[in-house]
């Protein structure tokens, strides 16, 4: 295993051939995902009235309430994108990259690896469990065959990604090129060596010779892009907390619910762990992420010091937990799909959940735009960010 001497980040490790394992896990996960779409997912019974939904109903009913953007996002993130990723992973690990023309293989692998950050199946599953806790005191809940199939899919999907060897896939398109003559350089930037942000090939040219992506010593205008996305997320955060994320109608009496209001309701009902999870994921994490990214953008103007390694770790943690704020979005989607009992009880989406979804996506884009390598540069070299 090769580690960076500055931040100790893993650069590469021994080449492990997990092709057969990934094919088996991906095929099994695909079967479970398909099975979860055709059988009852969750049943909701109250006062003799029963409502049963399937997995696609979570998005379909949102379309009926003119929440097309939210419905499309849910369809893509929990069904379409994971299915596309699994369908591509199987032939990729059966040797497809070796048979395709280099240009097509390169584009296919780029597309496949770009799907992963936007798949949120595990977050949706947690959102389902949280929504069940919210309404368990109001009605009888039962999980159908599709729910357990989806649980199996999530476990198998995570296992398949855990064994994914990205350098091995890129090596099938073109073996990694070893640079010579810079063995004694302290840092790559001192020798104008660039790391491709797609396939991680080291090169000195402006175009990566393996994946044909434009390369930079430092991502241009990284801080400016991150700040722009961050400001947009903060602007959306205000209406996301002020406007109702959903409206609950019970016996003709409609009551709106905000993010904080939902947390307070859970806390008063005694669901302290669930209330804490929702509060952390939907209120604390977005604020903390905005503060951390703002702090990191400021620290770019300061010289590297003994705390820089810690700043880098904080950035990596921030990027990892960013999409977990989507829990509340999936909670609302499940409640809207499930609680449709006419005048007795119904839940409809509010405008606040749309702003909240946009806010989380903007924060994910801000973290992706920020280049943590800038933290390790001296201020006099920061101009290379815009000149590269």
What is the per-residue pLDDT across 297-308, written as a single tens digit (0 to 9) for each? Answer: 888 888 777 888
Would residue 254 count as lying in a domain?
Answer: yes
* Token pair of 141 as six digits: 């809940």
- DSSP character at residue 350: -
Range of the structural domain that residue 366 is part of:
10-387
Percent of the chain that is helix, strand, coil (3-state, to 5): 60, 10, 30
Would residue 5 count as lying in a domain?
Answer: no
What is the dihedral sign for C-alpha 238, 311, 315, 383?
positive
pLDDT at 88 over 80: yes
Q: Is the CB of residue 265 less than 8 Å from the CB of residue 259?
A: no
Would residue 365 count as lying in a domain?
Answer: yes
Q: Please, which pLDDT band fits residue 268 given cuts at 50, 70 and 90? A: confident
Would residue 3 count as lying in a domain?
Answer: no
Would residue 2 count as lying in a domain?
Answer: no
Cα–Cα distances in angstroms (integers) from residue 26 to residues 15, 22, 105, 138, 191, in the given order: 20, 6, 20, 38, 41
The total domain count for the chain is 1
* Token pair of 57 as six digits: 């109903």
Nearest in space to 232 (alpha carbons), one of 363, 324, 372: 363
Q: Is the CB of residue 352 less than 8 Å from the CB of residue 332?
A: no
pLDDT tens, 150-176?
999 999 999 999 888 888 888 888 887
Percentage of residues in the chain having pLDDT higher than 90 = 18
Q: For the whole model, what pTM was predicted?
A: 0.80
Would residue 155 count as lying in a domain?
Answer: yes
Would residue 17 count as lying in a domain?
Answer: yes
Would residue 321 count as lying in a domain?
Answer: yes
């Amino acid at each position: 295993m090769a580690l960076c001497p500055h931040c100790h980040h893993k650069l590469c490790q021994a080449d492990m051939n997990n092709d057969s394992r990934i094919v088996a896990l991906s095929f099994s996960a695909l079967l479970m995902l398909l099975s979860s779409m055709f059988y009852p997912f969750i049943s909701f019974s109250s006062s003799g009235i029963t409502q049963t939904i399937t997995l696609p109903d979570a998005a379909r009913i949102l379309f009926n309430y003119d929440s097309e953007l939210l419905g499309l996002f849910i369809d893509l993130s929990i069904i379409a994108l994971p299915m596309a990723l699994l369908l591509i992973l199987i032939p990729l690990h059966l040797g497809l990259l070796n048979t395709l023309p280099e240009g097509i293989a390169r584009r296919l692998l780029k597309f496949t690896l770009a799907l992963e950050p936007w798949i949120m199946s595990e977050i949706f599953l947690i959102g389902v469990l949280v929504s069940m806790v919210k309404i368990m005191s109001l009605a009888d809940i039962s999980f159908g065959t599709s729910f357990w199939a989806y649980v199996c899919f999530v476990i198998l999907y995570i296992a398949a990604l855990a064994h994914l060897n990205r350098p091995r896939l890129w090596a099938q398109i073109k073996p990694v090129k070893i640079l010579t003559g810079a063995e004694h350089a302290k840092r790559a930037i001192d020798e104008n060596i660039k790391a491709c942000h797609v396939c991680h090939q080291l090169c000195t040219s402006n175009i990566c010779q393996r994946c044909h992506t434009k390369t930079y010593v430092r991502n241009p205008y990284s801080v400016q892009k991150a700040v722009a996305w961050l400001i947009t997320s903060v602007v959306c955060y205000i209406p996301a907390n002020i406007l109702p994320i959903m409206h609950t109608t019970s016996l003709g009496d409609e009551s709106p619910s905000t993010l904080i209001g939902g947390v307070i309701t859970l806390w008063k009902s005694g669901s302290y762990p669930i209330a804490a999870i929702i509060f952390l994921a939907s209120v604390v994490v977005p604020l903390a992420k905005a503060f951390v990214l703002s702090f990191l953008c400021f620290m770019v103007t300061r010289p590297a010091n003994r705390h820089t390694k810690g700043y880098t770790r904080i950035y990596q943690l921030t990027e990892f937990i960013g999409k977990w704020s989507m829990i509340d979005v999936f909670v609302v989607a499940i409640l809207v799909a499930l609680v449709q009992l006419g005048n007795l009880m119904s839940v409809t989406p509010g405008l606040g959940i749309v702003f909240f979804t946009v806010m989380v996506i903007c924060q994910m884009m801000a973290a992706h735009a920020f280049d943590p390598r800038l933290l390790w540069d001296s201020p006099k070299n920061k101009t290379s960010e815009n000149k590269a």
